[in-house]
Amino acid sequence: MPHAGLMDERAFGPEGSLQRARLHIRGGKRRLRQGKLSAGIVTLYDAVSAAMEWYVSSPERRKELDIREGDDLNDEKILYDILLRSGVLDGSFDYRAFDGLIQKVLYEDEVGLDYEKSLEEIESFMTRLGVMPFDESELPPEDPSTF
């Protein structure tokens, strides 16, 4: 993954998930530009997961969320539902469709994909969560050996 060797997530505390999301956005976009579509989409999936983890990890933001008894905060589908029903997200990014795409990408060699549309939706999602925009120069330099 794009953050391999660039950071110790535990050292960042809850902000480690934000850093991870941003590193994976950068790395996923690079992989897509290089034609590594499956790897790029899977990397962006990790960015989406890390972004949701980061958002709900903040005690201040969590107070504003509609978290219900029995909600498993370790389940990304439930995190998405919480963010949706709390009004943080507007539903324009279809997480379940994206999750289905990931399952397809992981198990099929050739996947027809309009990655530009997917990337546009992911960037909108990241902007709503406050992960984007960010200054890439504030991230550690990329290590090309990370695929």
Range of the domain at 120: 9-146
The amino acid at residue 93 is F
Domain count, the chain: 1
**Looking at the domain assignment, is residue 2 inside a domain?**
no
Q: What is the pLDDT, as a whole number, of residue 14?
A: 67
Contact assessment for residue 143 and residue 5, using Cβ atoms and an 8 Å cutoff: yes
Q: What is the pLDDT, as a whole number, of residue 141?
A: 80
Tokens of 74: 């370790």
What global pTM score does this model have? 0.84
Rounded to a whole number of angstroms, the distance between the first and last alpha carbons of the chain is: 8
**Looking at the domain assignment, is residue 1 inside a domain?**
no
Q: What is the pLDDT, as a whole number, of residue 6?
A: 47
Tokens of 84: 């949706």
Q: What is the distance between the alpha carbons of residues 93 and 141, in angstroms, rounded to a whole number? A: 29
Q: What is the pLDDT, as a whole number, of residue 53?
A: 95
Q: pLDDT digit of tens for each residue in the chain (147 aa)? A: 444 444 455 555 668 899 999 999 999 999 988 888 888 989 999 999 999 999 999 999 999 999 999 999 999 999 999 999 999 999 999 998 888 888 887 776 556 667 788 889 999 999 999 999 888 878 788 776 665
**Looking at the domain assignment, is residue 3 inside a domain?**
no
Q: What is the pLDDT, as a whole number, of residue 146?
A: 66
Q: What is the pLDDT, as a whole number, of residue 117?
A: 81
Contact assessment for residue 13 and residue 132, using Cβ atoms and an 8 Å cutoff: no
Tokens of 129: 């969560």
3-state secondary structure of 75: coil
